[in-house]
Chain A
Protein backbone atom coordinates (compact mmCIF):
# COMPACT_ATOMS: atom_id res chain seq x y z
CA UNK A 1 0.00 0.00 0.00
CA UNK A 2 2.81 2.35 0.90
CA UNK A 3 4.54 1.56 -2.36
CA UNK A 4 1.39 2.37 -4.33
CA UNK A 5 1.01 5.65 -2.47
CA UNK A 6 4.64 6.56 -3.08
CA UNK A 7 4.29 5.68 -6.76
CA UNK A 8 1.14 7.80 -7.09
CA UNK A 9 2.80 10.73 -5.35
CA UNK A 10 5.89 10.49 -7.52
CA UNK A 11 4.02 10.19 -10.79
CA UNK A 12 0.91 12.27 -9.98
CA UNK A 13 1.45 14.72 -12.84
CA UNK A 14 2.07 11.92 -15.35
CA UNK A 15 -1.12 10.14 -14.21
CA UNK A 16 -3.17 13.34 -14.54
CA UNK A 17 -1.65 13.87 -18.00
CA UNK A 18 -2.64 10.34 -19.07
CA UNK A 19 -6.20 10.95 -17.81
CA UNK A 20 -6.27 14.26 -19.71
CA UNK A 21 -5.07 12.47 -22.83
CA UNK A 22 -7.98 10.04 -22.54
CA UNK A 23 -10.40 12.96 -21.98
CA UNK A 24 -8.90 14.74 -24.98
CA UNK A 25 -9.32 11.67 -27.19
CA UNK A 26 -12.97 11.34 -26.12
CA UNK A 27 -13.57 15.08 -26.65
CA UNK A 28 -12.04 14.97 -30.15
CA UNK A 29 -14.06 11.85 -31.01
CA UNK A 30 -17.25 13.53 -29.77
CA UNK A 31 -16.43 16.71 -31.69
CA UNK A 32 -15.97 14.78 -34.94
CA UNK A 33 -19.15 12.80 -34.27
CA UNK A 34 -21.26 15.94 -33.62
CA UNK A 35 -19.72 17.63 -36.67
CA UNK A 36 -20.69 14.71 -38.91
CA UNK A 37 -24.13 14.50 -37.32
CA UNK A 38 -24.77 18.20 -37.89
CA UNK A 39 -23.80 17.82 -41.53
CA UNK A 40 -25.92 14.71 -42.08
CA UNK A 41 -28.97 16.26 -40.41
CA UNK A 42 -28.49 19.43 -42.46
CA UNK A 43 -28.14 21.70 -39.41
CA UNK A 44 -24.79 22.95 -40.61
CA UNK A 45 -24.81 24.77 -43.89
CA UNK A 46 -23.64 28.08 -45.22
CA UNK A 47 -26.37 30.59 -46.07
CA UNK A 48 -26.99 30.68 -49.77
CA UNK A 49 -25.94 33.79 -51.61
CA UNK A 50 -28.39 34.47 -54.38
CA UNK A 51 -28.53 37.16 -56.99
CA UNK A 52 -32.27 37.19 -57.68
CA UNK A 53 -32.27 39.92 -60.27
CA UNK A 54 -30.23 42.87 -61.45
CA UNK A 55 -31.66 45.11 -58.73
CA UNK A 56 -29.81 43.09 -56.12
CA UNK A 57 -26.19 44.11 -55.82
CA UNK A 58 -23.63 41.33 -55.44
CA UNK A 59 -22.93 42.34 -51.83
CA UNK A 60 -26.56 41.94 -50.77
CA UNK A 61 -27.52 38.61 -49.33
CA UNK A 62 -30.94 37.07 -49.37
CA UNK A 63 -30.96 34.51 -46.63
CA UNK A 64 -33.47 31.70 -46.89
CA UNK A 65 -34.59 31.47 -43.28
CA UNK A 66 -37.16 28.87 -42.41
CA UNK A 67 -40.38 30.38 -41.12
CA UNK A 68 -40.65 27.65 -38.47
CA UNK A 69 -37.45 29.06 -37.00
CA UNK A 70 -39.40 32.07 -35.69
CA UNK A 71 -39.61 31.71 -31.92
CA UNK A 72 -41.52 33.52 -29.22
CA UNK A 73 -38.41 35.13 -27.66
CA UNK A 74 -37.73 37.00 -30.91
CA UNK A 75 -38.84 40.60 -31.32
CA UNK A 76 -41.15 41.81 -34.07
CA UNK A 77 -38.31 44.08 -35.21
CA UNK A 78 -36.03 41.08 -35.74
CA UNK A 79 -38.73 39.14 -37.57
CA UNK A 80 -39.38 42.15 -39.84
CA UNK A 81 -35.69 42.49 -40.72
CA UNK A 82 -34.77 38.80 -40.97
CA UNK A 83 -37.79 37.91 -43.10
CA UNK A 84 -37.73 41.17 -45.04
CA UNK A 85 -41.23 42.32 -44.09
CA UNK A 86 -42.41 45.95 -44.31
CA UNK A 87 -42.00 47.62 -40.90
CA UNK A 88 -45.74 47.88 -40.20
CA UNK A 89 -46.92 44.70 -41.94
CA UNK A 90 -47.30 42.59 -38.76
CA UNK A 91 -48.54 45.57 -36.76
CA UNK A 92 -51.37 46.25 -39.18
CA UNK A 93 -52.35 42.67 -39.89
CA UNK A 94 -52.29 41.57 -36.23
CA UNK A 95 -53.73 44.84 -34.90
CA UNK A 96 -50.81 45.39 -32.53
CA UNK A 97 -51.33 48.57 -30.54
CA UNK A 98 -48.41 48.64 -28.10
CA UNK A 99 -46.23 51.75 -28.41
CA UNK A 100 -43.17 49.54 -27.94
CA UNK A 101 -43.71 47.91 -31.34
CA UNK A 102 -41.55 46.68 -33.06
CA UNK A 103 -39.06 46.46 -30.20
CA UNK A 104 -41.08 43.96 -28.20
CA UNK A 105 -40.79 40.19 -27.80
CA UNK A 106 -43.57 38.09 -29.29
CA UNK A 107 -44.18 36.29 -25.97
CA UNK A 108 -44.12 39.55 -23.98
CA UNK A 109 -46.73 41.06 -26.28
CA UNK A 110 -48.86 37.89 -25.98
CA UNK A 111 -48.68 38.10 -22.17
CA UNK A 112 -49.54 41.81 -22.12
CA UNK A 113 -52.47 41.30 -24.45
CA UNK A 114 -53.75 38.11 -22.79
CA UNK A 115 -53.26 36.10 -25.96
CA UNK A 116 -52.10 32.50 -25.98
CA UNK A 117 -48.34 32.58 -26.74
CA UNK A 118 -48.27 29.60 -29.08
CA UNK A 119 -51.34 30.87 -30.91
CA UNK A 120 -49.72 34.26 -31.51
CA UNK A 121 -46.51 32.59 -32.64
CA UNK A 122 -48.38 30.38 -35.11
CA UNK A 123 -50.27 33.42 -36.39
CA UNK A 124 -47.04 35.39 -36.88
CA UNK A 125 -45.51 32.43 -38.76
CA UNK A 126 -48.65 32.15 -40.86
CA UNK A 127 -48.63 35.82 -41.91
CA UNK A 128 -44.90 35.75 -42.65
CA UNK A 129 -45.56 32.76 -44.91
CA UNK A 130 -48.47 34.61 -46.53
CA UNK A 131 -46.25 37.63 -47.22
CA UNK A 132 -43.47 35.53 -48.71
CA UNK A 133 -45.85 33.56 -50.95
CA UNK A 134 -47.51 36.68 -52.38
Chain B
Protein backbone atom coordinates (compact mmCIF):
# COMPACT_ATOMS: atom_id res chain seq x y z
CA UNK B 1 0.00 0.00 0.00
CA UNK B 2 2.86 2.38 0.83
CA UNK B 3 4.41 1.78 -2.56
CA UNK B 4 1.08 2.37 -4.27
CA UNK B 5 0.43 5.52 -2.26
CA UNK B 6 3.86 6.92 -2.94
CA UNK B 7 3.86 6.22 -6.64
CA UNK B 8 0.40 6.11 -8.16
CA UNK B 9 -2.12 7.89 -5.96
CA UNK B 10 -0.38 11.31 -6.13
CA UNK B 11 -0.82 11.22 -9.92
CA UNK B 12 -4.52 10.69 -9.39
CA UNK B 13 -4.64 13.65 -7.03
CA UNK B 14 -2.65 15.94 -9.35
CA UNK B 15 -3.85 14.97 -12.84
CA UNK B 16 -7.29 13.75 -11.70
CA UNK B 17 -9.49 12.10 -14.36
CA UNK B 18 -6.69 12.08 -16.97
CA UNK B 19 -4.47 10.06 -14.67
CA UNK B 20 -7.31 7.66 -13.88
CA UNK B 21 -7.95 7.17 -17.60
CA UNK B 22 -4.30 6.60 -18.52
CA UNK B 23 -3.57 4.26 -15.58
CA UNK B 24 -6.73 2.18 -16.06
CA UNK B 25 -6.01 2.00 -19.78
CA UNK B 26 -2.42 0.86 -19.18
CA UNK B 27 -3.54 -1.78 -16.70
CA UNK B 28 -5.78 -3.24 -19.42
CA UNK B 29 -2.67 -3.63 -21.58
CA UNK B 30 -1.04 -6.03 -19.10
CA UNK B 31 1.05 -3.36 -17.40
CA UNK B 32 1.03 -4.29 -13.70
CA UNK B 33 -0.95 -1.41 -12.28
CA UNK B 34 -3.53 -2.29 -9.61
CA UNK B 35 -6.55 -0.82 -11.40
CA UNK B 36 -9.02 -2.14 -8.82
CA UNK B 37 -7.18 -0.44 -5.97
CA UNK B 38 -6.95 2.72 -8.02
CA UNK B 39 -10.68 2.69 -8.61
CA UNK B 40 -11.48 2.05 -4.95
CA UNK B 41 -9.17 4.91 -3.91
CA UNK B 42 -10.55 7.32 -6.53
CA UNK B 43 -14.12 6.55 -5.49
CA UNK B 44 -13.16 7.05 -1.85
CA UNK B 45 -11.76 10.47 -2.81
CA UNK B 46 -15.07 11.11 -4.61
CA UNK B 47 -16.96 10.33 -1.40
CA UNK B 48 -14.86 13.05 0.27
CA UNK B 49 -15.87 15.53 -2.43
CA UNK B 50 -12.60 15.58 -4.37
CA UNK B 51 -14.00 13.93 -7.50
CA UNK B 52 -17.36 13.48 -9.13
CA UNK B 53 -18.27 9.83 -8.56
CA UNK B 54 -20.16 9.43 -11.85
CA UNK B 55 -17.30 10.89 -13.89
CA UNK B 56 -14.96 8.43 -12.13
CA UNK B 57 -17.22 5.54 -13.19
CA UNK B 58 -17.50 6.84 -16.75
CA UNK B 59 -13.77 7.49 -17.20
CA UNK B 60 -12.74 4.12 -15.73
CA UNK B 61 -15.30 2.24 -17.83
CA UNK B 62 -14.21 3.92 -21.09
CA UNK B 63 -10.51 3.40 -20.31
CA UNK B 64 -11.08 -0.25 -19.48
CA UNK B 65 -13.13 -0.88 -22.65
CA UNK B 66 -10.62 0.91 -24.91
CA UNK B 67 -7.65 -0.93 -23.35
CA UNK B 68 -9.29 -4.36 -23.57
CA UNK B 69 -10.32 -3.78 -27.19
CA UNK B 70 -6.83 -2.73 -28.24
CA UNK B 71 -5.46 -5.80 -26.46
CA UNK B 72 -8.00 -8.02 -28.26
CA UNK B 73 -7.23 -6.60 -31.71
CA UNK B 74 -3.46 -6.64 -31.30
CA UNK B 75 -3.58 -10.34 -30.32
CA UNK B 76 -6.13 -11.14 -33.03
CA UNK B 77 -4.05 -9.48 -35.76
CA UNK B 78 -0.52 -10.38 -34.67
CA UNK B 79 -0.92 -13.10 -32.00
CA UNK B 80 -0.74 -16.12 -34.28
CA UNK B 81 2.25 -14.75 -36.19
CA UNK B 82 4.17 -14.19 -32.95
CA UNK B 83 3.16 -17.55 -31.44
CA UNK B 84 4.12 -19.41 -34.63
CA UNK B 85 7.66 -18.03 -34.44
CA UNK B 86 8.60 -19.97 -31.31
CA UNK B 87 8.47 -23.76 -31.09
CA UNK B 88 7.10 -23.84 -27.53
CA UNK B 89 4.21 -21.41 -28.15
CA UNK B 90 3.51 -22.97 -31.56
CA UNK B 91 3.13 -26.35 -29.91
CA UNK B 92 0.67 -24.94 -27.36
CA UNK B 93 -1.34 -23.04 -29.95
CA UNK B 94 -1.77 -25.99 -32.29
CA UNK B 95 -2.29 -28.69 -29.66
CA UNK B 96 -5.52 -30.68 -29.64
CA UNK B 97 -6.50 -29.34 -26.22
CA UNK B 98 -5.91 -25.77 -27.30
CA UNK B 99 -8.08 -26.24 -30.39
CA UNK B 100 -10.78 -27.78 -28.24
CA UNK B 101 -10.77 -24.82 -25.83
CA UNK B 102 -10.79 -22.35 -28.72
CA UNK B 103 -13.78 -24.15 -30.23
CA UNK B 104 -15.67 -24.04 -26.93
CA UNK B 105 -14.76 -20.41 -26.41
CA UNK B 106 -16.07 -19.50 -29.84
CA UNK B 107 -19.37 -21.25 -29.07
CA UNK B 108 -20.02 -19.77 -25.62
CA UNK B 109 -17.80 -16.82 -24.73
CA UNK B 110 -20.30 -14.70 -22.74
CA UNK B 111 -19.99 -15.73 -19.12
CA UNK B 112 -16.23 -16.21 -19.25
CA UNK B 113 -15.67 -12.74 -20.77
CA UNK B 114 -17.99 -11.12 -18.23
CA UNK B 115 -16.57 -12.76 -15.10
CA UNK B 116 -12.94 -12.39 -16.16
CA UNK B 117 -13.20 -8.58 -16.07
CA UNK B 118 -13.04 -8.74 -12.27
CA UNK B 119 -9.49 -10.14 -12.19
CA UNK B 120 -6.59 -8.55 -14.06
CA UNK B 121 -4.71 -11.71 -15.09
CA UNK B 122 -7.96 -13.46 -16.04
CA UNK B 123 -8.97 -10.43 -18.15
CA UNK B 124 -5.76 -10.58 -20.16
CA UNK B 125 -5.89 -14.36 -20.58
CA UNK B 126 -9.52 -14.31 -21.73
CA UNK B 127 -8.82 -11.42 -24.12
CA UNK B 128 -6.04 -13.49 -25.65
CA UNK B 129 -8.18 -16.61 -25.77
CA UNK B 130 -11.03 -14.71 -27.47
CA UNK B 131 -8.61 -13.27 -30.01
CA UNK B 132 -7.02 -16.66 -30.78
CA UNK B 133 -10.45 -18.31 -30.97
CA UNK B 134 -11.61 -15.51 -33.28
CA UNK B 135 -14.74 -14.98 -31.22
CA UNK B 136 -17.15 -12.74 -33.14
CA UNK B 137 -16.14 -9.15 -32.34
CA UNK B 138 -19.75 -8.13 -31.74
CA UNK B 139 -20.21 -10.80 -29.11
CA UNK B 140 -16.86 -10.04 -27.53
CA UNK B 141 -17.63 -6.31 -27.39
CA UNK B 142 -21.11 -6.83 -25.91
CA UNK B 143 -19.91 -9.01 -23.04
CA UNK B 144 -16.72 -6.99 -22.58
CA UNK B 145 -18.71 -3.78 -22.17
CA UNK B 146 -21.11 -5.47 -19.73
CA UNK B 147 -18.22 -6.93 -17.76
CA UNK B 148 -16.34 -3.62 -17.63
CA UNK B 149 -19.44 -1.79 -16.42
CA UNK B 150 -19.96 -4.45 -13.74
CA UNK B 151 -16.32 -4.38 -12.65
CA UNK B 152 -16.12 -0.58 -12.47
CA UNK B 153 -19.47 -0.34 -10.69
CA UNK B 154 -18.40 -3.00 -8.16
CA UNK B 155 -15.03 -1.49 -7.22
CA UNK B 156 -16.30 2.08 -7.51
CA UNK B 157 -19.27 1.49 -5.24
CA UNK B 158 -17.06 -0.26 -2.66
CA UNK B 159 -14.70 2.73 -2.55
CA UNK B 160 -17.52 5.26 -2.43
CA UNK B 161 -19.57 3.50 0.25
CA UNK B 162 -16.65 2.76 2.55
CA UNK B 163 -15.02 6.14 1.93
CA UNK B 164 -12.26 6.79 4.43
CA UNK B 165 -11.83 3.13 5.32
CA UNK B 166 -11.01 2.30 1.70
CA UNK B 167 -7.55 0.96 2.60
CA UNK B 168 -9.06 -1.78 4.78
CA UNK B 169 -11.62 -2.56 2.05
CA UNK B 170 -8.88 -2.69 -0.56
CA UNK B 171 -6.98 -5.24 1.54
CA UNK B 172 -10.12 -7.37 1.82
CA UNK B 173 -10.81 -7.10 -1.91
CA UNK B 174 -7.22 -8.19 -2.56
CA UNK B 175 -7.76 -11.28 -0.43
CA UNK B 176 -11.11 -11.90 -2.11
CA UNK B 177 -9.63 -11.69 -5.59
CA UNK B 178 -7.25 -14.53 -4.64
CA UNK B 179 -10.35 -16.62 -3.90
CA UNK B 180 -11.89 -15.63 -7.25
CA UNK B 181 -8.65 -16.45 -9.04
CA UNK B 182 -8.40 -19.91 -7.46
CA UNK B 183 -12.06 -20.59 -8.31
CA UNK B 184 -11.46 -19.53 -11.93
CA UNK B 185 -8.43 -21.82 -12.27
CA UNK B 186 -10.36 -24.71 -10.68
CA UNK B 187 -13.30 -24.12 -13.03
CA UNK B 188 -10.90 -24.07 -15.99
CA UNK B 189 -9.30 -27.34 -14.89
CA UNK B 190 -12.68 -28.99 -14.33
CA UNK B 191 -13.71 -27.89 -17.80
CA UNK B 192 -10.45 -29.27 -19.20
CA UNK B 193 -10.96 -32.59 -17.41
CA UNK B 194 -14.50 -32.89 -18.76
CA UNK B 195 -13.34 -32.10 -22.26
CA UNK B 196 -10.59 -34.72 -22.12
CA UNK B 197 -13.08 -37.30 -20.89
CA UNK B 198 -15.46 -36.41 -23.71
CA UNK B 199 -12.67 -36.60 -26.25
CA UNK B 200 -11.59 -40.04 -25.04
CA UNK B 201 -15.18 -41.22 -25.17
CA UNK B 202 -15.57 -39.99 -28.75
CA UNK B 203 -12.27 -41.63 -29.72
CA UNK B 204 -13.28 -44.98 -28.24
CA UNK B 205 -16.66 -44.76 -30.01
CA UNK B 206 -15.03 -44.15 -33.39
CA UNK B 207 -12.56 -46.98 -32.78
CA UNK B 208 -15.32 -49.41 -31.88
Residues of A within 8 A of B (CB): 13-14, 16-17, 20-21, 23-24, 27-28, 30-31, 34-35, 38, 43-47, 61, 63-66, 69, 71, 73-75, 77-78, 81-82, 84, 103-105
CB atoms of B10 and A38 under 8 A apart: no
Q: Is B190 interfacial (CB 8 A cutoff)? A: yes
Query: B residues engaging A (CB < 8 A)?
Result: 5-6, 9-10, 13-14, 45, 47-50, 161-165, 167-169, 171-172, 175-176, 178-179, 182-183, 185-186, 189-190, 192-193, 196
Contacts of B165 in A (CB 8 A): 38, 43-47
Known contacts A38-B168, A61-B47: A73-B5 contact under CB 8 Å: yes
Given contacts A35-B172, A44-B169, contact A17 B162 (CB under 8 A): no
Which of the residues B6, B182, B189, B196 comes within 8 Å of A27, measured between beta carbons? B182
Are A34 and B172 touching (Cβ within 8 A)? yes
Chain B residues with CB under 8 Å of A105's CB are 10, 13-14
Instruction: Name A37's closest neighbour in chain B (CB-CB).
Output: B168
Q: How many A-B residue pairs have CB under 8 A?
A: 98
B interface, by DSSP: helix, strand, loop or mixed?
helix
Nearest chain-B residue to A77 (Cβ)? B13
Residue of A nearest to B173 (CB): A31
Q: Is there contact, CB below 8 Å, between A78 and B13?
A: yes
Q: Is A82 within 8 A of B163, CB to CB?
A: no
| Across-interface contacts of B162 in A (CB, < 8 A) | 44-47
- Contact B13–A24 (Cβ < 8 Å): no
Would you list the 9 A-B pairs with minimal beta carbon distance, nearest first?
A47-B163, A43-B168, A82-B48, A31-B175, A38-B168, A44-B168, A75-B13, A24-B182, A13-B193
Interfacial chain A residues near B50, Cβ < 8 Å: 77-78, 81-82
| Distance in angstroms between the alpha carbons of A69 and B45 in the assembled complex | 13
Provide the residues of chain B in CB contact with A35, threshold 8 Å.
172
Q: Are B189 and A78 in contact (CB under 8 A)?
A: no
Take A17-B186, A47-B162 as given contacts and tell me if A63 and B14 are in contact as well, using a CB distance cutoff of 8 Å.
no
Closest CB in chain A relative to B177 CB, distance in Å:
10
| Contacting residues, chain B, for A61 (C-beta < 8 A) | 47, 49
Who on chain B is nearest to A31 by CB?
Answer: B175
Q: Are B185 and A20 in contact (CB under 8 A)?
A: yes
Are A43 and B167 closer than 8 Å at their CB atoms? Answer: yes
